Amino acid sequence: MSMRKLAASGLIAAALLASAPAWAVNPDEVLPDPAMEARARALSTELRCLVCQNQSIDDSDAPLARDLRVIVREKIKAGESDGAIKSYLVDRYGEFVLLKPSFSARTALLWAGPFAVLLGGVAVVWINGRRRRDEVATLSAEEEAAIRSLLDETPAESASPVTSPRTGSRS
């Protein structure tokens, strides 16, 4: 479908924003220290390019994404922790900049929802299973009587009432 069309148009919008369509991380941005660069890359994938559609600053070629990548790298060089860098960016751009929203009253449903579905499903299956087992396990007095009368009958006689509903339901 053009499932992708929307993604595509978003990308085109992003491409238009950047005067020369390129990709993310340019050679001149890369930090000399590989460990620091790896940290910068990992952090970049968790930060949203604010003007793009659902792209991290690591993926995006928009000028703003480049600015953010540079800020992240400068702060890493200055020895700041990942958490400090994130909270700096959140102060500046809002919660929107985080691709993985932090847990709060506002996002409780988001984080707990999938696991609640799993637990709820388990509970339903368990309760349902127990109920049905109880239903099957206990026979009413009438059913007991019916079984006793069936057992007293000869097999030839009991065969027909048991089998005919089955063939009936099959047709």
Partner 1 sequence: MIVELGHYALVLALALSLVLTVIPAWGAHTRDAALMGVARPAAFAMLFFTAASFVALAAAYVGSDFSVLNVFQNSHSAKPLAYKISGVWSNHEGSMLLWVLILAIFAGLVAWRGAAMPRRLLSYVLSVQGAIAAAFFLFILLTSNPFARVMPAPFEGEGLNPLLQDPGLAIHPPLLYLGYVGFSVAFSFAVGALLEGRIDAVWARFVRPWTLLAWAFLTLGIAMGSYWAYYELGWGGWWFWDPVENASLMPWLAGTALVHSIVVMEKRDALKVWTILLSILAFSLSLIGTFLVRSGVLTSVHSFASDPARGVFILCILVFFIGGGLTLFAWRAPVLRQGGLFAPVSREGALVLNNLFLAAACAAVFIGTLYPLALEAVTGAKISVGPPFFEATFLPLIVPLLLLVPVGQTLAWKRGDLLGVLQRLSAAFGLAFVGTIIVFATTRGGPVAAPLGVGLGFWLILGSLSEITSRSHRRGASVLTVLRRAAGLPRAAWGSAIAHAGVGVTVIGIAATAWGVERIATLKPGEQIALGPYQVTLEGVVPRNGPDYREVAALMVVRDGDRVIGRVEPGKRTFIARTTATSEAGLLTVGLGQIYASVAEVGAADGSAGVRLYWKPWVLLIWLGSVAMAAGGVLSLSDRRARVAAPARRAVPAAVPAE
65, 67, 73, 74: CA torsion to nearest 10: -160
Q: Nearest approach, Cβ of 44 to partner 1 (angstroms)?
A: 11
Q: To the nearest whole angstrom, how small is the minimum distance from the Cβ of residue 59 to partner 1?
A: 6
- Minimum distance from residue 139 beta carbon to partner 1 (Å): 15
Our finding on whether 114 is near partner 1 (CB under 8 A) is: yes
* Identity of the residue, 154 or 167, whose beta carbon is nearer to partner 1 in the bound complex: 167
Question: Is residue 82 part of the contact set for partner 1 (CB under 8 A)?
Answer: no
Name the token pair of 155: 């097999």
| CA 76 – CA 91 distance, rounded (Å) | 17
- Asked if 108 interacts with partner 1 (CB under 8 A), we say no
| CB of 63 or CB of 113, closer to partner 1 | 113
Tokens of 7: 């993604």
Please, which residues bridge with residue 48 across strands? 56
Q: Which of 81, 100, 144, 161 binds partner 1 (CB under 8 A)?
A: 100
- Torsion 16-20-22-24 (CA) sign: negative
The correct pick among 125, 145, 147, 159 for binding partner 1 (CB under 8 A) is 125
CA distance 90 to 93: 5
Q: Tell how far CA 14 is from the center of its chain.
A: 26
Question: What is the smallest separation between the CB atom of 156 and partner 1, expressed in angstroms?
Answer: 28
DSSP 3-state assignment of 55?
A: coil
Q: What angle do CA 44, 86, 102 make, to 5 degrees?
A: 100
CB 7 → partner 1: shortest distance, Å? 5
99 within 8 A of 57, measured Cβ to Cβ: no
Residue 138, φ and ψ in degrees, nearest 5: -100, 130
Would you give the binding string for partner 1 spanning residues 32-61, x where CB under 8 A is met? -------------xx-x----xxxx--x--
What residue ranges bind partner 1 (CB under 8 A)? Answer: 1-12, 15, 20-27, 30, 45-46, 48, 53-56, 59, 94-101, 106-107, 109-111, 113-115, 117-118, 121-122, 125, 129, 132-133, 136, 171
